[in-house]
Amino acid sequence: MAASYRLMGVLNVTPDSFSDGGRFLDADAAIARARELVAQGAEILDVGGESTRPGAEPVPAEEELRRVLPVLEGIAAADLALVDGARAQVSIDTSKAAVARAAIAAGASIVNDVTALRGDPEMVGLVADSGVQCCLMHMLGEPRTMQSGADGVGGVGGPRYKDVVDEVRAFLEERLDFAVRAGVREELVLLDPGIGFGKTVAHNLELLDRLGELTELGRPLVVGTSRKRFIGRILADAAGEAEPVDVARRLPGTIATNVLALERGASVFRVHDVAAVGDALAVAAATLGGRWTARGMTQTS
């Protein structure tokens, strides 16, 4: 039986992303990374030319296009195949219609909009007319201000919710309804609770714990916890360290959060470390039942 989840490999073509900023600014390096991600099991490549880390400054559309278009064209020319022979999907991580339009022309089939179609009034019409998939994400505020000092559990001056899960669910339901009323086919919409986007550590954990409540919206859930600061904060607290642990030490926490999200109904996992998270999800899926098929095995161990 085929796995009921997909891995979305992160490909940041930016100088300032929190985890890998600057590593893939060169188009050839980014295309080589795309090959690597697909070889590791990524079925979707999420290409972004503007950082959305907390405090990030906006990037003009012209600069964003300059960064991503050579990469998108190179990926299309590479015709990257998955194990089963299908082609990897390309997602464009942007909130600008001009960038999304060019990316679709270059082969992208998913628009991953962290503003949930609020950032550019032309985006919803473009998505509807193009017939591509779109991912709608919850974010409180915008990247420059979304955390506002929210470093720890209930950080002073940080994001506030009466019930984070209820409010995120209501937001996603409203944005889904908005998209459908504007002509986007409901079956093409993915939803993302926006882990780390305007949330404290406590909010992120509550969302992960109650993720099943968001699956009731009836659309596939995308989860992006990969290497995020809240994982570093949790690990630092456990080790008695004052500052969040470095990005390089966050893989075990990334794996743990993705396994928990799978158990609670998420089906798309946006990650940097595709091979490691993919291995963990394969074992978790087999444990949860019915998703592992033995090939050529005569005995189990």
* Residues labelled as active-site residues: 228, 270
- C-alpha Rg value of the chain to the nearest Å: 19
Q: How far apart are CA 255 and CA 153, in angstroms?
A: 21
Interatomic CA distance for residues 265 and 275, integer angstroms: 21
Could you give the CA distance from residue 144 to residue 52 in angstroms, rounded to a whole number? 8
Burial classification of residue 40, based on how many CB atoms lie within 10 Å of its CB (0-12 exposed, 13-18 middle, 19 or more buried): middle
Report the C-alpha gap between 93 and 147 in whole angstroms. 20
159, 163, 263: which is closest to 215 by C-alpha? 263
Task: Count other C-beta atoms under 10 Å from residue 162's C-beta.
Answer: 6
Could you give the C-alpha distances from 160 to 154, 169, 212, in angstroms and in order?
Answer: 8, 15, 22
